[in-house]
Amino acid sequence: MIVINGRKLIQWLAMLLVVLVGGYWIWSINTNAAMPASTLPEAKVKTFEMVAVEFDGKDPKTGKEREVYRWDPGTIVVEQGDRVRLNIHGLNGEHHPFLIEGLGIQGEVTKGEVKTIEFVAKEKGVYRMVCLVHTDAKNEGPMIGYIVVQ
């Protein structure tokens, strides 16, 4: 028969408590890593506010009035593994169908509305966010933004 005095029992219980708390902590980290960005607590998602904007001006060479569309900010920098939320506000232009090359994300921003997209930045690289209407200067563009994953 094993006899454990009061002091040894307290030490064993304290060790058991440390193991249980540590195990729960490790489990909770791994559980959050597998969650889609949309289900994570707000503190774990990096949120950016973007705007589809229009700029007007005169072409200095031709004197013609021009308008061009842009994403603002034009570049967003995140770290590999970040969970990212883009709230894209449709300020100018009726609609801007877009895709983010290399991420498999497509959507459309409509004037007066906010389009929200979420993703996990899995791979390092530079990803272009391209408006499919304003592709070049002839079409009031190019309307291209960049997401840089470091």
According to the model, what pLDDT value does residue 67 have? 85
If one counts the domains in the chain, the total is 2
Q: What is the per-residue pLDDT for 43?
A: 54
Task: Give mean pLDDT, residues 76-103.
Answer: 93
Determine, yes or no, domain membership for 1.
Answer: no
pLDDT at site 30: 47
pLDDT for residue 26 is more than 70 = no
User: What is the domain-level CATH number for residue 66?
Assistant: 2.60.40.420
- 77, 46: one domain: yes
Q: How confident is the model at residue 146 (pLDDT cuts 50, 70, 90)?
A: very high
pLDDT, position 19: 66
Q: Domain check: are 15 and 65 in the same one?
A: no
pTM of the model: 0.66
Average pLDDT over residues 90-113: 92
Please give the angle made by the CA atoms of 12, 17 and 22, to the nearest 5 degrees: 130
Flag the least confident range among 15-19, 21-25, 48-52: 21-25
Complete DSSP assignment for 9-38: HHHHHHHHHHHHHHHHHHHHHHHHHTS-GG
Average of per-residue pLDDT across 22-29: 56
Domain shared by 14 and 80, yes or no = no
Q: Is residue 29 part of a domain?
A: yes
Q: Are residues 27 and 85 in the same domain?
A: no
Q: Please tell me whether residues 55 and 114 are part of one structural domain.
A: yes
Q: Are residues 23 and 43 in the same domain?
A: no
Instruction: Quickly list DSSP for 89-113.
Output: EE-SSSEEEEEETTTTEEEEEETT-
For tokens 């030490």, name the residue: 11
pLDDT at 35: 44
Mean pLDDT on 106-125: 94
- As a whole-number percent, the residues of the chain with pLDDT over 70 amount to 75
Domain limits for position 73: 39-149
